[in-house]
Structure 1
Amino acid sequence: MFGVRLSATNLTEASELVERSIRERRKVYICVTDANALLAARQDATLNEIYRNAALSLPDGMPIVWLSKLLGKSGVERVRGTDFMRTITAMSCGLGLRHFYVGGAPGTAAALSAKLITAHPGLKVVGALCPPFRELSAAENLETVEEINAARPDVLWIGLGAPKQERWMVANFDRIDAPVMVGVGAAFDFLAGTKPEAPKWLQRSGLEWLFRLACEPRRLWRRYAIVVPTFLCLSARELLLRRLMKVQKV
């Protein structure tokens, strides 16, 4: 879509890939791609390549799902990072999977793990880290990687925000022993309860961005002032080009 790779998938298929990768001990990283990330990757060749090489680039946004279906991709459903995390967490209790959380504001990862353990008794949480917001030095990054590997997680959840979390996963892919890494951004805050989650009807209607803007106007107004009209214009162009191609074939 707009030159960026997205996975035509759904929550069930994505969950099955996680289970299979862990069972086979096959290392993968997974991105959760909303409209903002999609447009950023369109402008950044390195980031575009990161999404292209991901085991999954999950479609996080109803406008992305709607456009995918208009472009002929069947079976595509929205996979929110928060819902994906909930599903894998619930699934992992029966499988005995080990989880590690990296990211969020100070205390968020710890609050997240506590909330998830309460909701899912028996959940195996083997670590939670909140790195500084600034770029880590090589020594600090190595210390983080060593702490993660010492805990032997099956799933490493990264909540550093896009595109920082995607760049971190790729930069450390060969160093991390965990079979699955997933960048989920704001899911840490939603599941930890530090930020409110949009009502389901807003999520289904494609207006979750409006709810988030109302909650954090100073931080998000500039993002959505660019993302919303740009996505709409690119979508209209994509559909028009597709229609013109069909006309030419006839």
Structure 2
Amino acid sequence: MNTINSEFLGYPIFKGQLVDVLQKGKTIINTLNQYSFCLAEEDKVFKNALMNSDILLPDGISIVLSAKFLSGNELKKIAGADLHEFVLKYLNSVYGTCFYLGSKQETLDAIKSKVEDVFPNITSEGFSPPFRDEFSQEENDMMIEKINEFSPDVLFVGMTAPKQEKWVYANRDKIQATYICSIGAVFDFYSGTVERPSNFWVSHGLEWFVRLVKEPKRLWRRYFFYGGIYLKHIVSSKINHSIRF
């Protein structure tokens, strides 16, 4: 196990700083929150993709608090948006390149415009794939071709979990990019399509609450239904650990 990883309910969760993310060689970076954890426990392919991440970030206050509760491990929440901002600053310093795969074309256009304005040393491109649960072989080949023609330093994938992580894991050997980051909702946050909660809410671990208030119909199941399932996992793990010792 990587020395900057910590075991969390069987997952190799990242416990380092963002500066430690930039490792040598092809690096697959995913995130874990209570929702993706619950989905992965029901989806073996998704779980395999997460377990085989080179870096699995603790993206959620529930993961941070649970790690402390279960084993005393001190984790720092690192959201996909934090990773994205850090990587862009790095790329700007080295005149790097990045490619955005996912979302609507209008969103990609807004991202490209913002990157050009804020990080003028970065060259970026993007591709909006068809919106469907599964891609045909032809569509899949086209996506990989678009990425590899550009051959970016960093590939950002925003197709929502678990679709994005499973796609990356299935195609990682075909993708010509040094860092591959599955960051989901960050595409909407960065483009301005969806406003991310302010730093006040983020720093107090209440980003999820603001998002729920703004989009209750879409997010209630994620936070309440799966929140209950997640809590059962945590309590069960704590009880089993206590029995063993």
| TM-score (norm: length of structure 2) | 0.89
Q: Does 1:17 align with 2:21?
A: yes
Name the counterpart of 2:202: 203
- Supply the distance in 2 between the matched residues of 1:74 and 1:97 (Cα, whole angstroms): 35
CA drift of 1:106 comes to 3.2
- Supply the distance in 2 between the matched residues of 1:148 and 1:166 (Cα, whole angstroms): 16
Residue pair 2:67, 2:74 contacting (<8 A) in 1 also = no
CA drift of 1:234 comes to 2.3
Give the counterpart letter for 2:20 in structure 1: E
- Supply the distance in 2 between the matched residues of 1:7 and 1:121 (Cα, whole angstroms): 33
Name the counterpart of 2:127: 129
Within-5 A mapping of 1:96-135: 96-125=95-124, 127-134=125-132, 135=134
- Supply the distance in 1 between the matched residues of 2:178 and 2:120 (Cα, whole angstroms): 23
CA drift of 1:78 comes to 0.5
Residue pair 1:3, 1:42 contacting (<8 A) in 2 also = no
Name the counterpart of 2:77: 78
Name the counterpart of 1:172: 171
Instruction: Give the SS at the match of 2:149.
Output: helix
Relative to 1, partners in 2 of residues 1:96 and 1:75: Cα closer, same or farther, differing over 3 Å? farther
The Cα offsets for residues 18-65 of structure 1, whole Å up to 9 and x where unpaired, read as 2x33xxxx2221111111101111111221111111101111001101
Residue pair 1:2, 1:42 contacting (<8 A) in 2 also = no
Q: Does 1:225 align with 2:231?
A: no
Deviates more, 1:94-103 or 1:217-226: 217-226
Name the counterpart of 1:56: 55
Residue pair 2:14, 2:55 contacting (<8 A) in 1 also = no
- Supply the distance in 2 between the matched residues of 1:2 and 1:68 (Cα, whole angstroms): 7
CA drift of 1:224 comes to 2.1
Where structure 2 has 5 or more consecutive residues not aligned to the other structure, the ranges are 1-6
Relative to 1, partners in 2 of residues 1:73 and 1:50: Cα closer, same or farther, differing over 3 Å? farther
- Supply the distance in 2 between the matched residues of 1:241 and 1:139 (Cα, whole angstroms): 48
- Supply the distance in 1 between the matched residues of 2:37 and 2:223 (Cα, whole angstroms): 13
Relative to 1, partners in 2 of residues 1:107 and 1:138: Cα closer, same or farther, differing over 3 Å? same
Name the counterpart of 1:65: 64
Relative to 1, partners in 2 of residues 1:51 and 1:73: Cα closer, same or farther, differing over 3 Å? farther
Q: Does 1:154 align with 2:160?
A: no
Q: Does 1:5 align with 2:3?
A: no
- Supply the distance in 2 between the matched residues of 1:225 and 1:105 (Cα, whole angstroms): 28
Where structure 1 has 5 or more consecutive residues not aligned to the other structure, the ranges are none
CA drift of 1:4 comes to 4.5
C-alpha RMSD of the superposition = 1.9
Identity %: 30
| TM-score (norm: length of structure 1) | 0.88
CA drift of 1:75 comes to 4.6
The Cα offsets for residues 65-92 of structure 1, whole Å up to 9 and x where unpaired, read as 1111233354521110001100110111
Task: Provide the aligned length of Structure 1 versus Structure 2.
Answer: 238
